Amino acid sequence: MNTPAPKAPKRVNVAILISGSGSNMEALVASMQAPDHPARPALVICNRPKAGGIERAKRLGVPVAIIDHNGFERREDFEAEMDKVLLDHDIDLICCAGFMRVLTPWFVSRWPKRILNIHPSLLPKFKGLNTHARALEANETEHGATVHWVSEELDGGAIIAQSRVPVKSGDTAQSLQERVLEIEHPLYVETLFKIANVFDK
């Protein structure tokens, strides 16, 4: 009698939420394309119909759902649609990657310990927007990025990992943003790999 081959462990289904160019999304998708990765890129959701990340995701062969927040009167209605699409795709873990919508307590409570975000600062410093300009104004000598769990408090959830860059003399918000973006990709890729390896589905 033939013994059945052991079943391959089910991979963690990841959805990536984007609003913009999607360079972090691309780095995450590319990393999950490795055959032994514990997660798979199951879905990209974008809330801006003209975002550059949409074409990028399509090129990578990942299903894309465009859910324009402007089509909904209330934030919760927009999120209810996202929630439905996430459930339809059997999503386990959500990675926000340049997703420019604040998530409500309702949505966050639907996905406990299941939403990651990357933020372009060394949290708890510089929550919110314009982090690079604010780091320069504050005369910081170093800056960086943080991957954290999403909680009800904006950019306030538990910190998982950080990566640092020096602030150089003559830096502008733009040059600093570029330096930080470069280290965001490996930071998010490595953090997702670790989380997916121990993820309890």
Output b/e per residue, 35-64; b: 16+ Cβ within 10 A: eebbbbbbbbbbbbeebebbebbeebebeb
Provide the minimum distance between the beta carbon of 115 and ligand GRF in the complex, in angstroms, as a whole number. Answer: 14
Q: How far is the CB of 33 from ligand GRF (least distance, A)?
A: 17
Q: Where does this chain bind ligand GRF (CB under 6 A)?
A: 18, 20-25, 53, 97-98, 118-120, 145, 181, 184
Q: Which two tokens stand for residue 128?
A: 């919110």
Q: Which residue is nearest to ligand GRF (CB)?
A: 98
Instruction: Report the catalytic residues.
Output: 119
Of 17 and 195, nearer to ligand GRF (C-beta) is 17
Question: Cα(173)–Cα(137) distance, rounded to whole angstroms?
Answer: 10
The C-alpha atoms of residue 39 and residue 187 are separated, in whole angstroms, by: 16
Q: At closest approach, how far in Å is the CB of 181 from ligand GRF?
A: 5
Distance of CA 180 to the CA centre of its chain: 15
21 or 104: whose CB is closer to ligand GRF?
Answer: 21
CA dihedral 171→173→179→185, nearest 10 degrees, is 170
Closest to ligand GRF by CB, 23 vs 191, is 23
Smallest distance from ligand GRF to CB 47, Å: 12
d(CA 74, CA 132): 31
Which is nearer to ligand GRF, 11 or 143 (by Cβ)?
143
